[in-house]
Amino acid sequence: MFDALPHDVDIYEVGPRDGLQNEKTVLPVETKLAMIESLVDAGIRRIEITSFVNPRWIPALADHMEVATRLRRREGVRYSALVPNMRGLDSATRAGMDEIAIFMAASETHNRKNINKSTHKALETYAEVVREAMDRGMAVRGYVSCVYGCPYEDQVPYENVEYVSKALVDLGVYELSLGDTIGVGTPRQVAGILQGLLGAGLSYDQLAVHFHDTRGTALANTTVALQLGIRTIDSSLGGLGGCPYAPGASGNVATEDVVYLLDGMGIRSGVELDRLPAISVEIGAKLGRELPSKYTKAYVGACAKSGVPV
């Protein structure tokens, strides 16, 4: 059952962007920078720091330029930011980003709701963005959202997922993050999608998984992805997250929970698990709520029982 497990896995931390984008409480720049620094101190080596979108779309990330320009870049850490169009790319360029991410859905309706474009038009737009980004020396990652279900269309045909995935790879995207935007995916479904894409010619190095835990299946789905040899897992500190254009979507799978799973399975991530709860607790306090990570809740309870500070 576990013969194909990878020895090493990359954690791609999305908390500072995907995690914070839907929060009503807007954290100050200093808090965001401290959050990113703390995650890097804990061993995170790939991290999405913000999104260069119009502040009217995502008010919680209106400070994207200040976050990106004030951040202290560390050697050996890959910092990325989401961009929706050429204007966003220009902002990311001025901010000194070496990597960007683009995003679209396997669902036609979600594309129209989220980025105000049809699937075809979105691909036309991104063709220009990716080409220009690569000319500027940037790496480009891609998100395919609504892979396992859509808040507007319900089920999404596999053919849509394969079409969008192949189209983005053909544009020059080096890695695809397959998103369960509304958290409806189940292990058999995850296996079918991943096996289909691998059979269609995509490689293990081109695929990452991005699960939301709306219905409690994110870790089970992560386990299936690992069993199939996937080596990049998107996660968010504390389980922060949610898409403003996907009604009912809850947070991403928590980074702490994923690292605990990986440690227990003997898979190296390079992340120090016991450094994460303190960061989650602090960010939760700033947001005025307890974050949903199950590992952090257990860790905090154990600390309280033994009288040791988190």
3 state DSSP class of 177: strand
C-alpha distance from residue 97 to each of 87, 88, 93, 300, 302 (Å):
14, 11, 6, 36, 40
Rounded (5°) CA angle 170-146-57 = 90
Specify whether 146 is catalytic.
Answer: no
CB of 257 closer than 8 Å to CB of 221 = no
Q: Which helix (H) or strand (E) holds 67?
A: helix 64-70
Burial of residue 134 (CB within 10 Å: 0-12, 13-18, 19+) is middle
Annotated catalytic residue: which of 146, 150, 243, 303? Answer: 243
Q: Which amino acid makes up residue 228? A: L
Closest CA to 185 of 152, 150, 159: 150
From the number of C-beta atoms within 10 Å of its C-beta (0-12, 13-18, 19+), residue 18 rates as: buried
**DSSP code, position 251:** P
| DSSP 8-class letter at 274 | G
Q: Kindly state the tokens that stand for 172.
A: 């020059």
Contact (Cβ atoms closer than 8 angstroms) between residue 98 and residue 119: no
Separation of alpha carbons 139 and 135, rounded Å: 10
Note the residue count of the chain: 310
Q: What is the spatial distance between Cα 252 and Cα 272, in angstroms, rounded to a whole number? A: 19
CA gap 218, 177 in Å, rounded: 14
Question: Which amino acid, residue 169?
Answer: V
Provide the sign of the torsion angle of the four alpha carbons 77, 82, 86, 88, taken in this order.
Answer: negative
Active-site positions? 243
